[in-house]
Structure 1
């Protein structure tokens, strides 16, 4: 490897190190990620826990998503709204919702239909849906 090539590699490595997370965010694009993290059966209900991350450079004052819950047979059980509240920029938040009359074992899929509300200073309404990243740490599939 020539001295010039070594210098070029060192400069590229230094630039990547300095750019760090902001470079990664620019390459990936600002978005919201929602992870279905846990399901907990409680008396006559199911507690659903989500891990949410706002990847936008500014805070979101309120994010409300419309969701459709399907049973294990693929039938619609209910439509509901999940109000995730305020989502500070670049900080993970856990939000829990208790759904009465729902058995956790009977939940097969969760479909995020879209954002009912998405507000914040300088935040366009589409900020909560463009590039929305969905995943699950449970056996329940999450779609969007």
Structure 2
């Protein structure tokens, strides 16, 4: 009887912890490097998927990123603007690197938040602290 009670308590605690973890996982801002394709002009077109699951509407979201070549040397630092994102919104944004082939890019890192403004105009801090990054490409993408 004690074993069943203990098992039931442990199961309930596990379900509660899993539910809290799942809720925390949803309370994020995610950026996915979805595609990196060479353009006809020799540049690289980066396709990002941005999803706001922060629980708050964003008026403006910009990230400063560093681009590394195959040797690990930073070739540029630029700002990627994702614009306004209401809570629950996913947006696809394209960025062209006109003078750099995708094969010349080994990784891209989020260096800093250039701007993260809530719909009411107040700055928000979760754009970096709650950021989750991923890549579906050969190019590594992270923080």
TM-score (norm 2): 0.80
Matches within 5 A, 1:52-91: 52-91=50-89
How far does residue 101 in structure 1 lie from its aligned partner after superposition?
Answer: 0.1
Matches within 5 A, 1:5-84: 24-26=22-24, 28=25, 30-44=27-41, 45-84=43-82
Would you tell me which structure has more strand in proportion to its own residues?
1
Q: Any gaps of 5 or more consecutive residues in structure 1?
A: none
Q: Deviations over 1:10-37 (max 9, x none)?
A: xx6xx98xxx8x98324x3622111100
Q: Any gaps of 5 or more consecutive residues in structure 2?
A: none
Match of 1:104 in 2: 102
TM-score (norm 1): 0.79
Match of 1:133 in 2: 132
Superposition CA RMSD, Å: 2.9
**Distance (whole Å) between structure 2 residues aligned to residue 132 and residue 97 of structure 1:** 19
Number of residue pairs matched? 138
